[in-house]
A and B are shown apart, each in its own frame.
Chain A
Amino acid sequence: MTLLQPLGLLALAAVPVLVALSLWRWRRREVIVSSLLLWRDVAAAWRHAPHARRRRQLDPLLILRVAVALALAGALCAPVLLRAARATRRLIVVLDRSASMATRRPDGLTRWRAARDELLKLLVQLDAADRVEFATVPPLADRAIGAERGPRDAASLILTLEPSDAAAEPADLRRAALEAQARQPAARVLVVTDAPVPGLPPGVALLATGAPARNLGITTFAARPYPDGRTEVLIAVANASPAAAAAQVALRADGRELGRRRVDVAGAATARVIFEARPAAAAVLEARLDGADDLPVDDRAWLARRSERLRIAWVGDECYYLRRALAVQDGVEVVELPAPPDAAVPDGFDLALYYRAAPRRLAAGSLVVVAPGAPVGALRPGPLAEAAPASVVARRDPLMAAVRLEGLALGRVPRPALPGGFETLATAGDVPLIGRWRDGAATVVYVGVDPASSAWPLDPSFPIFWANVVASAARQGQQAGSFGCSRPGQAVAIRAGPEAALIEPGGDRRPLTADALRPERAGLYRVVSGAQETPVAVSLLSESETRAAAAEARPPAAFLAATGGTATAADAVATWRLGGWLALLGLGLVLLHGGLSARARQRV
């Protein structure tokens, strides 16, 4: 408790004055009675009474007067009760909204529902003054929820959230947790997910709600047309369960089934199925796994035929392996430029590829720099050194989907000085091999490995990586090539007229107000512009989501106990101002005193 007006304590000087006055009055207090005739015996009895009875007794009115003085002195001091012992607790919840959170657990609940219930239990234990902040991975596309709120609002918010169909890497969750911790060092960070998140720093707790799942999912769906009209379709089916499983895989073209195969998948393994079909002019291919399992979203995948070719500007030296890797991509047109262009990505091109070269300046567009040898924006290539064994860091990133670098000898690679916001996708020891960053409106993919001086082109991961690069460029730019798809949560550029409308997988139709679409749900979308209808395929195709394993859960109550109070100066807020209450109490005591004294006077 703090006194805002300590000088009010001077009013306590009235207390001894009151006591003295009361004693003085008591000494001289005299009451006139009609006659002492009846009181004489009473007085005699009192005189002969034991000493204890004859002691001076406290006058109730004096007690009331002293209480009034104390109350008024207290009111003058303006005391306030500060919430010092119990400070506001700040909690930041990093919420995994990835597709795997929709996996059903053996107890019948989805991992999301279990996480939500655990969070609600946690929020119930918080005080109204505690603050909760949310960060979701992947982020919500339609609104921001980053503001601090009380436990009640936080509970209301959680009830409105649903998991998306997008993929999320443990690294994304770790990054979000680190950012939250850096933003509010006094806050406790809780990562709510279904899978282990390695490398969480101290102070960041993990609430994992995963459980062993029985799930088969399509993790790869690719179609490669041949000039003779045949199309080779690759479907990979991953098994999340340690037990072997079997399912029927069906391939459809524009809703018509082209083929059906049985696929047997060993425990925790992946099986591939290749169809050779003649989809003719089909616009959409769909792969479907029959049979129910714990995660439905990865049981279907779609590919849409690209309507235009992807144009890639080649700048720099010739590289046979790289040129071959691009040449096998359907719908890709590579144009070699004789001299570096003024713009990093020249007009008319969807992607610029710099091999052993660097753009003069970075501008809007997507470009890939391979073994640049010169600064690219803020990136400075360092001296070459023998590469350590390589590994993929961001397996869920679309660029690194199905790419395996482990065990490859990659020769000598530079150790670059990295620009801010550089996102490492693959490393050789502690040297970044592949990464990505944004510089203004430019998106730059850096590849430190020189294909001409390494064994990487001999590995299947090489064409896969470049196929990913082309697919990514196609998603970010225009639909190009034969068949392709986007991932949930990623932006899809759409070329459509002003009156265009979007038909969602469920059949809902809404006007298309932007040139980009960031769908959260997997499925087949259709963009209708006049008489033209363009399919947009959005498929999960994420092995990590299909296989999302269970992590050991940590009870929220234990986390809350560990959280404790994190008091800051700003938290020491006055909660109760007692001055008014004391004044009111004093007034009440004055009235009581008046009533009692009047009654006493009347009786005497």
Chain B
Amino acid sequence: MRDTQSPRAPAASAPPPRPPQSPALLDPDFLRKLDLLEVLFKRNVVGRREGDRPGHQRGGRTEFAEHREYTPGDDLRYLDWNIYGRTDRLFVKEFTKQEAVLACVLLDASASMGLGQPRKLEYAKRLAAALAYLAGVGGNEALLGAFQGPSVAWSPRFAGRPDLQGLAAFLEPIQPAGPTDLLAALRALRERVHERSLVILISDLLEEGGGRRGLRLLGSQRFDLSVLHVLSPQELHPPAIGPVRLRDSEADTAEDLAVDADALRLYADRLNAFCEGWRAFCQRHDIRFIETSSAAPFEECVLGYLRRGGLVR
């Protein structure tokens, strides 16, 4: 598996191709609303660095946890002399160690994400930026990864209130290309991230590989998993366009058929079954599963869907 800093990064000599006109990743008004939210981490998430989130490990000096009877060897600096004065017994104060946990946002940048009106990838980029910002605002760390096929481009870790320019510098050059390989991307994440962190996968999930296998793998290692399923309105409600050759955006395969009312009924059945399968899988493995359309208003998605899905509060 190949790690690249920026998939399909523009060559130094050529001017970077302008992405399609899209709204700014995060506008100031929306940021003010985001400041009122925070990412919800499950208890099993463990941070490696000291931060603002109360952790499971004892230690630190700021967050009081409980008193414990003195045993030889304890640090005398934590003896509670007030209790000793009242009870002639020695107790030491114990503190909970505060930690900063990691939120990994794994962004599907395959060719299929470049379709739709609005484009799914643009929508997904804004979601990724919002989630990274929310993680940073909560005193945690954020890590962004964009995958195309087996290769994943990683951003630097953003700690604390994130640098919006840094986020934009990573996200904006990303262009859709290549096939979708969820298993490879999740394996790459597992190799790169060693602590139990929050993993948010943003994808259209349109692949036949081992996406579910990868998620089961991370789940077994007590990662906190969330899946944001983004589809375009054209995928949710395709029009009857008559006889046509449908070509797969990621594979060199095509199907001839007539997209008529009968075909659309069958397509709707398949789509429902597909989504229902993912819903059931995620529920079974304690994975948050949030569905949205690239045509849904972005603020409504973040402030509504993500809150209802239990990813932010």
Q: Which residues of A contact B (CB under 8 A)?
A: 26, 29-43, 45-47, 49, 53-54, 56-57, 59, 600, 602-604
Contact = CB atoms under 8 A, between A and B. Distances in A.
Closest 3 CB pairs between A and B?
A: A34-B112, A35-B206, A43-B255
18 contacts: A26-B243, A29-B243, A32-B247, A32-B249, A34-B112, A35-B112, A35-B207, A35-B249, A40-B255, A42-B267, A43-B257, A45-B262, A45-B263, A47-B257, A49-B262, A57-B242, A57-B260, A600-B239
Contacts of A57: 242-243, 258, 260
Given A32-B247, A42-B263, 19 more contacts: A30-B254, A31-B246, A33-B246, A33-B247, A34-B120, A34-B232, A34-B250, A35-B112, A35-B204, A35-B206, A35-B207, A35-B250, A39-B267, A39-B270, A45-B262, A49-B262, A54-B258, A57-B260, A604-B234
Contacts of A40: 255
Contacts of B267: 38-39, 42
A39 B255 contact: yes
Interface string B237-271: 01101111111111101111110101100110011
The main secondary structure of chain B at its interface with chain A is mixed
Nearest to A43: B255
A46 B258 CA distance: 7
Contact of A33 (B113, B120, B249, B270): B249
A381 to B, nearest CB: 100
Given A57-B258, A603-B234, A42 B266 contact: yes
Interface residues on B, range: 35 or more
Nearest to B112: A34
Nearest to A49: B262
Nearest to A599: B239
Nearest to A61: B242
Contacts of B204: 34-35
A32 B257 contact: no
A34 B112 CA distance: 4
Nearest to A57: B242
A40 to B, nearest CB: 7
B241 A42 contact: no
A37 B13 CA distance: 38
Nearest to B208: A37
Contact of A38 (B113, B115, B239, B274): B274
Contacts of A45: 262-263, 266
Nearest to A602: B117
A49 B248 CA distance: 22
Interface in B193-238: 204, 206-208, 232, 234-235, 238
A533 B293 CA distance: 109
Contact of A604 (B241, B258, B263): B241
Contact of A36 (B116, B248, B260, B274): B248
B291 to A, nearest CB: 15
A37 B117 CA distance: 20
Contacts of A31: 241, 244-247
A49 B204 CA distance: 30
Interface string B139-156: 000000000000000000
A33 B263 CA distance: 15
Contacts of B245: 29-31
Contacts of A600: 239, 241
B238 A59 contact: no
Nearest to A60: B242
A61 to B, nearest CB: 9
A53 B241 contact: no
Given A34-B204, A35-B206, A36-B248, A603 B242 contact: no
A36 B239 contact: no
A37 B180 CA distance: 12
A519 to B, nearest CB: 87
Contacts of B235: 33-34, 38
A43 B247 CA distance: 12
Interface in B87-101: none
A597 B198 CA distance: 45
A475 B248 CA distance: 113
Interface string B167-211: 000000000000010000000000000000000000010111000
B270 A41 contact: yes
Contact of A42 (B117, B206, B248, B270): B270
Contacts of B113: 34
Contact of B257 (A34, A46, A603): A46
Contacts of B247: 30-33
A269 to B, nearest CB: 96
A47 B243 CA distance: 12
Given A29-B245, A39-B246, A53 B262 contact: yes
A389 B267 CA distance: 110
A126 B251 CA distance: 76
Residue of A34, A39, A603 ringed by the most chain B CB atoms within 10 A: A34
Contacts of B258: 46, 53-54, 57
Contacts of B238: 603
A39 B257 contact: yes
A53 B204 CA distance: 32
Most buried by B among A38, A54, A603, A604: A38
A604 B246 CA distance: 11
Contacts of B270: 38-39, 41-42
B248 A35 contact: yes
B119 to A, nearest CB: 11
B260 to A, nearest CB: 7
A33 B241 contact: no
Nearest to B256: A43
B299 to A, nearest CB: 23
Nearest to A38: B270
Contacts of A47: 257
A533 B254 CA distance: 117
Which of A41, A45, A46, A47 lies at the interface centre, i.e. has the most chain B CB atoms within 10 A of its CB? A46
Contacts of A34: 112-113, 115-116, 120, 204, 206, 232, 235, 249-250
Contacts of A46: 257-258, 263
